[in-house]
Structures are given as structure tokens and as C-alpha cells.
């Protein structure tokens, strides 16, 4: 028998379905495969006469068992050689030579569908000048378009000039809007509120985490106040 495996394409919350629907012939050879992370119509012509003949020769008619003489899948020229010969063009079967090659398309598809399906119009991304926020901004830009992404640079007294330059250069390269919201005053207010509790203690990761929380609150406020943003 011939087996057709059908898989949806798109993101659903934290899940991303990668497509890659495929068809296997009666010998277990992959004869056709759809694109990854893209919707498409794939038509496969099957020679069911060969399938019936194969089953008869191997005594499989009416018996749900695997043929012991199934030939190995081979590829030669522009078509699959063997029982599936003539079913499809060779280009219909994708061969992924990069195990991590689907990571970026999956991120883009998941991001785009999450924003679209929840009715958001854009995204607000905190930019620090580092690699992590740069990747997030790049994925968002490719997924929903540069006109729908806003970068926010939130420096404190510990932020270097290089970080500022990198953040603004990134925004320029991506073609997205960027705004600057200093958090130095807010950080000082937080520390002042805790001055008695922190008396005699050296500054450590606690203050670093305060900066992260302040930035997170500002991004949340900007997102909530921008109708349709996420």
C-alpha cells in the first residue's frame, strides 16, 4: 500500500508545525515530500498497478505484513529508480543537510502566526546591543515587517557607549524605529527604597536583576498602551 502523511503548517501558541507532508510507496521508499514551513499544493501520481503486482509477487494480498524482498531506495539521474520510478521529479523530495536549518524558519513562522492569530498589529522589542535581543529583533522584523517593529533602548548608569551604538546600528540596519528610555532615575528610586534593607551590603546581581525588572515593566507598559501591539 501507499502511505500519505499529512502535516499542517503554522504556529499555535508554543507549537510550530513544519509541514513536510510526504508520500511513501509500497516498498517504504519516500517518493514525494512537500516544502518545510510553507503551505503548498502537492500532487503525486501513483501507479497502483505496480503496487498490486508487487503485493501479488510477494504474497501480500490480504495479509498485513511487510515484504521481505523490498528493494532499497535508490536515486539515479532525475528520478527515483525502483518501484517508485516515474512517480515524481527528484526535486519533490527535500534532503535537509543542515540539522539546525529549520530553527530560523520555525521562529519566524511561530512569531508571525502568534501575532496574526491574536490580532496584534506589531511588536515592541527591548534592544541592549547584545546578540540575544538582536536575534529577537531580526526574527520579528522578518516575520511581521520592519514597519511593525519598534525597538526600545533602556540605558542605566552601567550601560556602555558601545551598547548604545550597537543597538542604534542594529535598528538602522533592520530599518525599524528605535526609542530611548533611560532607567537610571528609576533604578536609583528602587535602590533608595531598599537602602535600609541593603545597608552594609555590596552591590551584586540583585541590582542587575532590578534593572531587568524595570526594563520589563517599561516594555509591558509600552506594549499595553500601543493598541494592537504585543
pLDDT digits (tens, 9 = 90+) for 136-152: 999 999 999 999 999 99
CATH number of 119-225: 3.40.50.620
Q: How far is CA 216 from CA 17, 125, 221, in A?
A: 30, 10, 9
CB atoms within 10 A of CB 128: 19
41 — pLDDT class (breaks 50, 70, 90): confident
Sequence ranges of the domains in the chain? 3-92, 119-225
> What confidence tier does 58 reach under pLDDT thresholds 50, 70, 90?
low
pLDDT for the residue 73: 59
Mean pLDDT of the chain: 80
pLDDT of 75 strictly over 80: no
- Is the confidence at residue 79, as pLDDT, over 50? no
**Residue 23: burial class (beta carbons within 10 Å; 0-12, 13-18, 19+):** buried
Residue bearing the bigger pLDDT, 13 or 6: 6
pTM greater than 0.75 (yes/no): no
Query: Burial of 142 by CB count in 10 Å (0-12 exposed, 13-18 middle, 19+ buried)?
Result: middle
Q: Is the pLDDT of residue 197 over 70?
A: yes
Amino acid at each position: 500500500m501507499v502511505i500519505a502523511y499529512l502535516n499542517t503548517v503554522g504556529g499555535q501558541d508554543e507549537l510550530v508545525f513544519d509541514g513536510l507532508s510526504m508520500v511513501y510507496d509500497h516498498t517504504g521508499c519516500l517518493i514525494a515530500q512537500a516544502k518545510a514551513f510553507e503551505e503548498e499544493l502537492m500532487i503525486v501520481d501513483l501507479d497502483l498497478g505496480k503496487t498490486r503486482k508487487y503485493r501479488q509477487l510477494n504474497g501480500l494480498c490480504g495479509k498485513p505484513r511487510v515484504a521481505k524482498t523490498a528493494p532499497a531506495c535508490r536515486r539515479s539521474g532525475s528520478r527515483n529508480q525502483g518501484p517508485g520510478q516515474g512517480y515524481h521529479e527528484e526535486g519533490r523530495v527535500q534532503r535537509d543537510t543542515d540539522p539546525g536549518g529549520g530553527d530560523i524558519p520555525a521562529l519566524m513562522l511561530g512569531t508571525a502566526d502568534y501575532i496574526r492569530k491574536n490580532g496584534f498589529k506589531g511588536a515592541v522589542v527591548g534592544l541592549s546591543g547584545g546578540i540575544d535581543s538582536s536575534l529577537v529583533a531580526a526574527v520579528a522584523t522578518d516575520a511581521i515587517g520592519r514597519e511593525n517593529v519598534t525597538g526600545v533602548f533602556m540605558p542605566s548608569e552601567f550601560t556602555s557607549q558601545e551598547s548604545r551604538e550597537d543597538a542604534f546600528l542594529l535598528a538602522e540596519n533592520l530599518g525599524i524605529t528605535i526609542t530611548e528610555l533611560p532607567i537610571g532615575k528609576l533604578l536609583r528610586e528602587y535602590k533608595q527604597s531598599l537602602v535600609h534593607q541593603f545597608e552594609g551590603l555590596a552591590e551584586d546581581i540583585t541590582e542587575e536583576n532590578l534593572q531587568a525588572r524595570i526594563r520589563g515593566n517599561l516594555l509591558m507598559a509600552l506594549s499595553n498602551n500601543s493598541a494592537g501591539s504585543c
